[in-house]
Amino acid sequence: MSTSPHTSLFNTTYPIIMAPMFLISNAAMVKAALDHGITGAIPALNYRTDEEFRTAIDEIRAHTDKAFGINLIVNKSNVKYKKQLQTCIEKRVDFIITSLGSPEECINAAKPLGIKVFCDVIDLKYALKVQALGADAVIAVNAEAGGHCGNMSGKDLIPMLVEALDIPVISAGGVSESADVKKALALGAAAVSVGTVFIASDESPVSSDYKQALVDYSAKDIVLTTKMSGSHLTVINTPYVQSIGTEASWLERLMKRNKWLKKYIKMFIALRGMKAIENAANKATYKTVWVAGPSIEGVHSIDPVGAIADRLTSDL
């Protein structure tokens, strides 16, 4: 099993991050992941208040001294960004995963204190940019990933980035079993970041209908929609998703072409979409917009996080 360079990034037994997932990742999941030799990260946005956010970090720290991370949305849409960054720094979380925007401020603030910064990227240009800014690693989000996926397959993206970068490449997308982890490592990845399969875990806070959907549906049922956040998002093609379609409406598209309206319409689509996803995740509603990636193919039951982690690491 490869022990380097992931051990210098987050010092776990196995080179796996339980990926940050909006509305899903929580302290219970991360504690279980850490107990089973992998690390985990939580989006700061999963907490309504700074107080709740701090409590979650303290809860994990009280449980273990193993390394875990926080995901920050670093663009302007996240009005809580500065406060969240300050809390990460004050609490000395072990690593920060940045998404959607320039990580410069985050890197400058976190690195001098020994907090590692891993940046989501989907192509070489951006990967080179974050490397130049001082990122400790890139998270290469490929076309098989759940959530806001990339557009290159892991098979193409990982070797390209490994070849061009000096910093480690963590691969995100399409991992549901141990063999998938091995494939990514063989392509040169230092570690993998795994999200979808952990939605169907006992500790995950979403409704049992959402978890069961991961068991019942398969990879062929995953579609890309721009209806929810304005950019491509992977969702399960439920009857509700089929009924609303996967393309933003003509009016939204028209308004996005207008320079002045663009910013507001984008924000409006994102807020409305996030609300719909939040409602569907937490309660029984016919408006089922369930975010998940094609790796639901490997989900056959709802299990504890520890059992899922054990499956991923069984053959490493």
Asked if 195 interacts with ligand FMN (CB under 6 A), we say yes
User: 194, 312 in Cβ contact below 8 A?
Assistant: yes
Asked if 74 interacts with ligand FMN (CB under 6 A), we say no
Two structure tokens written together for 195: 């999200």
Q: Which residues contact 22 (CB under 8 A, 6 or more apart)?
A: 43, 45, 46, 147, 274, 277, 291
Asked if 78 interacts with ligand FMN (CB under 6 A), we say no
Q: Binding ligand FMN by CB under 6 A: which of 85, 169, 291, 305? A: 291
Distance separating alpha carbons of residues 235 and 214, to the nearest angstrom: 11
Asked if 297 interacts with ligand FMN (CB under 6 A), we say no
Asked if 154 interacts with ligand FMN (CB under 6 A), we say no
Q: Binding ligand FMN by CB under 6 A: which of 40, 69, 147, 168? A: 147
Q: Which of residues 99-138 bind ligand FMN (CB under 6 A)?
A: 99, 120
Asked if 175 interacts with ligand FMN (CB under 6 A), we say yes
User: 285, 162 in Cβ contact below 8 A?
Assistant: no
Q: Binding ligand FMN by CB under 6 A: which of 9, 18, 20, 31? A: 20
| Measured CA angle at 36 (ends 30, 40), to 5 deg | 30
To the nearest whole angstrom, how small is the minimum distance from the Cβ of residue 42 to ligand FMN?
9
User: 123, 143 in Cβ contact below 8 A?
Assistant: no
Asked if 145 interacts with ligand FMN (CB under 6 A), we say yes
- The SS3 call for residue 171 is strand
To the nearest whole angstrom, how small is the minimum distance from the Cβ of residue 312 to ligand FMN?
10
DSSP 303: B
- H or E element at residue 55: helix 50-63
Q: Which of residues 202-241 bind ligand FMN (CB under 6 A)?
A: none
Binding site for ligand FMN (CB under 6 A): 19-22, 24, 43, 71, 97, 99, 120, 141, 144-147, 172-175, 193-196, 199, 291-293, 295
